[in-house]
Amino acid sequence: MNRLRWMVGVLIITALAGCSSVPERGAPKIVYVPGAKVDLNNSALVKESLYAQYGQWKNTKYQLGGLSRNGIDCSGLVHVTFKTKLGIVLPRSTEFQAELGQDIDKNQLRAGDLVFFKTGISVRHVGVYLEDGRFLHASTKHGVIISRLSETYWKSAYWKAKRLDT
């Protein structure tokens, strides 16, 4: 019986450790999924992939640290979207995602660019640009949703945009 308790305890600790947030180390980097990478210069294909992701994740609730259809946060949605739809593995955190690629002006945005917002003193938010001023993201209030950069809240919180090197 003691051995069984010990084994159950080890399993529980292992499972919990796997769900904990571990800081990423080293310089942020992009990794490509072999044979699955979508050319980010192909805006039509990128948009098709992003809208397909939205169709699958629409209204999934926001959950800090979440990475599943039961709940996901903004950087998690970007991470999962790029990995599963575009074949590109990005860092998990907004902090490291914001360090990737090249800075671009808001008027140069194209499908697949990352858009960042300052939503608090030290709080950052990220989404993926679609087209016509719209972006895909996980909202704390509405879950996975498409919003407009021109909305008062997002317009005032806008920080920067990044284009990933392909």
Which residue out of 19, 79, 125, 142 is catalytically annotated?
Answer: 125
| Catalytic site residue from 19, 74, 79, 142 | 74
**pLDDT tops 70 at residue 9:** no
Q: How confident is the model at residue 166 (pLDDT cuts 50, 70, 90)?
A: low
- 19 catalytic? Reply is no
Residues whose CB is less than 8 angstroms from the CB of residue 130 and which lie 6 or more positions away in sequence, other chains included: 47, 50, 51, 111, 136, 146
- Give 60-106 pLDDT, tens digit per residue: 999 999 999 999 999 999 999 999 999 999 999 999 999 999 999 99
Q: 134-139 and 124-131 as β-strands: parallel, antiparallel, unpaired? A: antiparallel
pLDDT 10s digits, 118-162: 999 999 999 999 999 999 999 999 999 999 999 999 999 999 999
- Whether 72 maps to a domain, the answer reads yes
pLDDT score at 51: 98
Q: Taking each helix axis from N to C terminus, what angle separates 74-86 and 43-57, rounded to the nearest 10 degrees?
A: 120
In sequence order, the 6+-apart residues with CB closer than 8 A to the CB of 42 are none
Instruction: Decide if 79 is catalytic.
Output: no
Judge contact between 30 and 163, C-beta under 8 A.
no
Domain count, the chain: 1
38 residue type, one letter: V
Residues with Cβ within 8 Å of 157's Cβ and at least 6 positions away in sequence, in order, are: 117, 118, 119, 125
Residue 28, in any domain of the structure: no
Asked if residue 1 belongs to a domain, the reply is no
| pTM, 2 dp | 0.82
CATH number for the domain that contains residue 156: 3.90.1720.10
Find the domain containing 82 and state its range. 35-163
d(CA 12, CA 14): 5
**Rounded to 5 degrees, what angle do the CA atoms 140, 101, 121 make?**
40
Q: Which DSSP state fits 161? A: E
Query: Looking at residue 12, what is its pLDDT?
Result: 39
The verdict on whether 125 is a catalytic residue reads: yes
Is there a domain that residue 86 lies in? yes
Cα 161 to Cα 129: distance, rounded to the nearest angstrom: 9
Summarize pLDDT for 21-73 with one digit per residue, the tens: 334 456 677 787 777 788 999 999 999 999 999 999 999 999 999 999 999 99
